[in-house]
Chains A and B, each alone.
Chain A
Amino acid sequence: MTETLVRLRLSFFLGLRSLQRGNIGSLVMTVVIIGMVFTNMIFLPSVITGAIKLFEQQTIEFQSGNIIIEPKENAEFIDDLEDLLARVNRVPGVLRAAPHNDIGGVMKFKGSRLPGSIIAIRPHDEVLVTGISRMMKEGQYLGEGDTGVIVIGRLVAGHEDKSEDLMPSLGGVTTGDSIDVEYTNGVTRTYRVKGIFETKSYMVDPLVFITWEELESVRGQPIDQATSVLIRTVPGEDENEVKLSLIGMGIQEEIKTWHDLLGKAFAEVVQSYAVINNISTAVSIVIAIVVIFIVIMIKTLNNRRQIGILKAIGIHRTTITFSYVFQVIILAIMGIIFGLMILFALDRYFTVYPIVFPDGDIRPAFTIADIVSNAVLLFIASAVAGFIPAWQIAREDILTAMRG
């Protein structure tokens, strides 16, 4: 056995025995502190990751699908819609494409006026592409060929007491109420509200939907145009690959993945969150280092004489130093395991009782990458924090140390 292995083996032996037969109260306290620090390192980032994931999920599920096709630059509409849909639906990896056609209008209800876009959809396609049909707060979603009915978001419906609304609304519409819509082409229609949806997304809940047939009736002609086409990809498909396939089919319109759609601004938001995460992690690491440093410093000071004696009988200072490093490593492992147990309990709890945010219910997203990287970080920080005081004492002159 090499000298280094002999020393490490003896270090481990001394470290383990010290923990087994040392002060149990100090051991439990240190493990609990490391566990809490580890929990803190993971929990805040997991909430932020959960919020980001929620926003991404809302974007895909309710706003854009996985991929969205928009009109060419300087064009108002996507033309030859039926031909485009036929081509898109043939692309491998595409589950379904759903066209949207927006038209401006002013909604009126009991004296309230609310300008906005009314979106025409094909419910049969829409239910395969977006999840709004599954988010009905009351009433029903649109059916294929429905006319004379409208489905509105909860922020459009609003409250009778408008002070409760975060944005302009129709002032307390409920299912079955009639609202008037004055379209920009001068046509006015009265619709029965078939249902009200609530996605908790501020981007989606102000939307209003009618059927494609209803829009054709408003326009007075068949419509072969769309303002956008939302595409749902087959689960597991790479959206960028599907996007490239669509480009390869000669589609001239703007094709964006949901990621492209969120764009640079969203990337900057994510980056800002990353900065918050890093600050939180750094603070946690400093707390861990200080606590472990103090624990080991006290322990080595109390054992100063014993360290001197070990050196006197021929135990190398590296062996002594690493006996403390091993103690810290074992404490860190126990602390991390304790932290994982806390995180598991939190995960169970927040699965049942998510954190309610105005923008949706957030479940902390514990990622393996976060857990592993933070565990490694805490592990290294602990080892360093344990090494320094032990190294300081172990290099002390033997007789000075033996005097205690």
Chain B
Amino acid sequence: MIKITGLEKIYRLGVVEVPALRGLSFEIHRGDFLGLMGPSGSGKSTLLHLLGLLDFPTAGTIEIDGVDVAGLDDDERTDYRLRKMGYIFQDYALVAELTVLENVMLTALAQGKTESQAGEASRDVLSIVGLSNRLNHLPKELSGGEQQRVAIARSMVNRPIILFADEPCANLDTANSQAVLDQFHTINEELSQTIVMVSHEEWHKEYFHRIVYLKDGQIEREEDRHHHGD
């Protein structure tokens, strides 16, 4: 489903070149719950940003369903992210002036759905994450765990083919982290949602089907826990 070949990313700081990824090649299968783990500076977030089309690789290809998305221009990438990808960030990244329902409706509206269609789809996913009773609350009125569940609902509303989560539990306590990971587990199991998640917490491994360990911008090893992919 996603085929990464020879992926490189070099940051240029003045005349100094800092290689962040050094020719990664691996595949992500449909329905995978893939963990990206490794020490700080190993290239986890950089890899996630490249896979999520938030940044451009220095070299290499990222093929999604046979299309090399690394070569898309800015507008095509925006459209691809909207229609095919979902994102969850560690600080929830909700729009402060929008209610829970409106935050989730946002990407549905951007896809051209009517307000009632977007509202209906949003209520459905908010019910999956257990926030049907918080529709008209503003983000500041929610706990961290609840905000992250809103972010999950937002990322899910357009039924993306792949969902990227960048340390989604970094700002949560253990109980809330567990609730969020349970949520990921549920949508992965019940909806066969492909998820790629960056984490550095050892106990998160329990949830992943597969783990790619990175070190110094390279794949150190891969661990297949209970593979569900195609």
Given known contacts A21-B138, A313-B154, A6 and B110 CB-to-CB distance under 8 angstroms: yes
Closest chain B residue to A18, Cβ basis: B97
> Contact: B95 with A306, CB < 8 Å?
yes
Question: What per-residue 1/0 map shows which CB atoms of A231-249 lie under 8 Å from chain B?
Answer: 0000000000000000000
Contacts of A314 in B (CB 8 A): 78-83, 85, 107, 110
A9 to B79 CA separation, bound complex (whole angstroms)? 17
Asked whether B82 lies within 8 Å of A315 as measured between CB atoms, the reply is yes
Measured in the bound complex, the distance between the Cα atoms of B92 and A305 in whole Å is: 12
Complex contact A17–B78 (CB within 8 A): no
Is residue A84 within 8 Å, beta carbon to beta carbon, of the partner chain? Answer: no
Partner of B78, one of A10, A13, A18, A317: A317
Contact flags (1/0) for A276-314 with B, using CB distance below 8 Å?
A: 000000000000000000000000000001100111111
Interface size on B, residues (CB 8 A): 30
CA distance A1 to B115 in the complex (A): 12
Q: A313-B154, A314-B78, A398-B54 are in contact. Are A306 and B110 (CB under 8 A)?
A: no
Let me know if A28 is at the binding interface, CB within 8 A. Answer: no
Tally of A-B residue pairs with Cβ under 8 A?
76
Interface residues on A, range: 20 to 34
A308 to chain B, nearest CB (A): 9
A315 to B121, CA, bound (A): 18
* Given A310-B95, A398-B55, A316-B75 contact (CB < 8 Å): yes
The answer for the CA separation of A22 and B96 in the assembled complex, in Å, is 9
> Does B64 belong to the interface (CB within 8 Å)?
no
Q: Bound state CA distance, A317 and B52, in angstroms?
A: 17
- What residues of chain B lie closer than 8 Å to A18, measured between beta carbons? 97
Q: Are A313 and B87 in contact (CB under 8 A)?
A: yes
Q: Using A1-B112, A6-B112, A399-B55 as known contacts, say yes or no to A306 and B82 having CB atoms under 8 A apart.
A: no
A319 at the interface (CB under 8 A from B): yes
Across chains A and B, which 8 residue pairs bring their CB atoms closest together, nearest first? A314-B82, A21-B97, A314-B81, A309-B93, A6-B112, A17-B97, A398-B54, A18-B97
Interface residues of A (CB under 8 A from B): 1, 3, 6-7, 9-10, 13-14, 17-18, 20-22, 305-306, 309-317, 319, 398-399, 402
Identify the B interface with A (CB < 8 A).
49, 52, 54-55, 75, 78-83, 85-87, 89, 93, 95-98, 102, 106-107, 109-112, 138, 154-155
Contacts A7-B110, A9-B109, A313-B155 known; list 20 others, CB within 8 Å: A3-B112, A6-B112, A10-B110, A17-B97, A20-B97, A21-B96, A309-B89, A310-B106, A311-B78, A312-B52, A312-B81, A312-B87, A313-B87, A314-B80, A315-B82, A315-B107, A316-B75, A316-B110, A317-B78, A319-B110
